[in-house]
Structure 1
Amino acid sequence: MFKVIGTRLNQGYRTSPYPNQPVRLSSRFRGLPEINAACDPAIVRRCAGLCPQEAIAAEKRTIDLGRCTFCGACAQVEDGAFVRFSGIFEMGAARREDLIVSGALPDLASHAKAHFKKLFGRSLQLRQVSAGGCNACEADTNVLNTPFFDLSRFGIDFVASPRHADGIHVTGPITRNMRTALLDTYAAVPAPKVVIASGCCAISGGPFYGSEDIIGDLNSLIPVDLYIPGCPPHPLTTLHALLAFFK
C-alpha cells in the first residue's frame, strides 16, 4: 500500500486536462483540412487527381472526410495552395453528409439527438466490433482506457458482451466474412441502442473502397448515429465526439 502511495506522489497527476483545458497536438498531426475556395482550378484538379481515395470533388471544392485517409498528398501540391491540414481534432459528425466539407464542420453537440443525451448522459457502455480492420483504429481506441485519457471518468466504458452494451463502436471496412457477426452483435444489444462508425474504413471503405470483398459503408447495413473520421481517428477525436454527442 505504501509503495502505491509513494509511486502516486512521485509521478503526480498524469491524466489529460482535456476537456477542461484546451489541448494542442503536434504540428505533424493532420486534422480538419482548411480549404482555399479561391484556389486556381488547375491546382484543385491536380489535388483531386492525386487523392488515392477520390475524396476531393474538384468542381465543388470539397473534401469527403468519410473517405479521406489524411495522407497529406493534396497538401503537398503547390505548398498547400488548395488544402492545408490544421491541428483541429474535433471532427465528429451526426450525419454522413456533414463530413463532406468545404470549411468548418457543424457543431456536433447541437446535432446530437436529445433522447441519447437523456438516456446515456450519465453512463454509456459500448461494445467494440473490429469488422476486418488493420487494428490501427482499435489501438487508438484502446488508448482511451489508459490513465492518461481515463475514459471511465466520463462514465463511458467498453464492455465484453453486447447484451451489457448501449451500442456498438464499429471499426474496419466490414468484410463480407464479418457481416453476419456484426449484425448478430447489433441484434444482441438491447434497444434503444446507438451505432458509431469509427474511421474511414467503417464510414466508406477507406483504402479498400470499391473492393467486392467488403461492405465498406456501415450505414448501408445498420443506421449510424455518430461518425468519427480519421485513419485512424486520433484518441482525442474519438473522445471529443463521444462527449459532444452523448454528454
Structure 2
Amino acid sequence: MAVDPELKIELGKQGIFVTTIQELYNWGRKSSVWPMQFGLACCAIEMIATTMARYDLARFGAEVFRPSPRQADLMIVSGTVTKKMAPQVVRLYNQMAEPRYVIAMGACAISGGPFKQGYNVLKGIDRYIPVDVHIPGCPPRPEALLQAFMTLQKKIDEQSLTGENRPRYLNVDAPGEFPVPEQGEHDLVPASNPNVWTVPVVIR
C-alpha cells in the first residue's frame, strides 16, 4: 500500500520514517551498482576519468569496479564493438549476476559510430544484449556518464517487484542467457538476437 508523500514528510519531521519493502529493496540496489572492469576503445578513457577524484563516481555507490563478471551487475560498453569482440561481450554479459544492467557509452557502442560502414564493426551492441541507457557522443564526457548513471538509478528506483512492470529477471519466462554469436562465413551468426532487436520498419 502506497503512503501519501505529504504524510511521509510530516511523519519524517516527527522522527518517524515510513517506507515499503519495495522502496527499501530498490534503494539498496540503486545505491550499490557495481560496474564491470573492462573497456573496449577510447570511451574507456572517459569512463576511467569518471571514477577519478574530479568526478568521483563513488558518490553514487559505484566505486568498486569488479574484475569478474560474476561480481558485477553493470556492464558499461565503452567503445567500438568489433565483430570479433561481440561474442566475448555477450559471453561476459551472460556470466554477470542478476539483476544486471547495460549502459552503451558512445556512438560506436550505440550504432557503430564513424566506423559504421566498416565490415568488421558491430552496428550497436543492442543487437545482442538489452541496453538500459544509451549515451551519445564521440566520446561522451564524464558528466554524460554520470547523467546516464543517475538515469539508471532512477530506472531501478521505479521498478516494481510484482505485476507487469517487474524487471526482466523476476519474469520466469524471460531468458536467463542470451545466444553468443559465432563467426560465420561472411558475418556473425546469428546476425542479431530476435528477442532483443528486430530490423526497424522504414516507412517512406
Q: How do 1:21-170 residues align onto structure 2 when only pairs under 5 Å count?
A: 117-118=26-27, 120-131=29-40, 133=41, 135=42, 137-157=43-63, 158-170=65-77
**How far apart are residue 182 of structure 1 and its match?**
0.7
1:170 is paired with a residue whose SS is: strand
**How far apart are residue 117 of structure 1 and its match?**
4.9
Q: Equivalents in 1 of 2:26, 2:47: separation in Å?
A: 22
Say whether the 8 Å CA contact 1:176–1:215 is kept in structure 2. Answer: yes
Say whether the 8 Å CA contact 2:80–2:108 is kept in structure 1. Answer: yes
Please report the TM-score for the alignment, with normalisation by the length of structure 1: 0.49
Pair 1:228 & 2:128 matched: no
**How far apart are residue 200 of structure 1 and its match?**
0.3
Pair 1:244 & 2:157 matched: no
**How far apart are residue 190 of structure 1 and its match?**
1.4
Q: Equivalents in 2 of 1:244, 1:213: separation in Å?
A: 31
**How far apart are residue 172 of structure 1 and its match?**
2.0
Q: 1:200 to 1:117 in 2, by over 3 A?
A: farther
Say whether the 8 Å CA contact 2:32–2:61 is kept in structure 1. Answer: yes
Q: 1:117 to 1:184 in 2, by over 3 A?
A: same
Q: How many residue pairs get matched?
A: 131
Q: What do you get for the CA RMSD once the two structures are aligned?
A: 2.2
Q: Report Cα offsets for 1:33-81 as digits up to 9, x if no partner.
A: xxxxxxxxxxxxxxxxxxxxxxxxxxxxxxxxxxxxxxxxxxxxxxxxx
Gaps in structure 1 of 5+ consecutive residues: 1-113
**How far apart are residue 216 of structure 1 and its match?**
2.3
Pair 1:173 & 2:55 matched: no
**How far apart are residue 179 of structure 1 and its match?**
1.5
Supply the AA of the counterpart residue of 1:226: V
Q: 1:119 to 1:226 in 2, by over 3 A?
A: farther
**How far apart are residue 129 of structure 1 and its match?**
3.8
**How far apart are residue 130 of structure 1 and its match?**
2.8
Gaps in structure 2 of 5+ consecutive residues: 1-22, 155-204
1:206 counterpart (99, 110, 113):
113
Q: Equivalents in 2 of 1:241, 1:223: separation in Å?
A: 15
Say whether the 8 Å CA contact 2:103–2:148 is kept in structure 1. Answer: no
Say whether the 8 Å CA contact 1:125–1:166 is kept in structure 2. Answer: yes
Supply the AA of the counterpart residue of 1:195: V
1:163 is paired with a residue whose SS is: helix
Q: Equivalents in 2 of 1:125, 1:159: separation in Å?
A: 7
1:224 is paired with a residue whose SS is: coil
Q: Report Cα offsets for 1:169-191 as digits up to 9, x if no partner.
A: 00222111112211111011012
Moved beyond 4 Å, runs of 4+: 116-119
Please report the TM-score for the alignment, with normalisation by the length of structure 2: 0.59
Fraction of identical pairs, as percent: 35
Q: 1:128 to 1:244 in 2, by over 3 A?
A: same
**How far apart are residue 128 of structure 1 and its match?**
4.2
Q: 1:204 to 1:159 in 2, by over 3 A?
A: same
Say whether the 8 Å CA contact 1:117–1:245 is kept in structure 2. Answer: no
Task: Report what 1:218 is aligned to.
Answer: 125
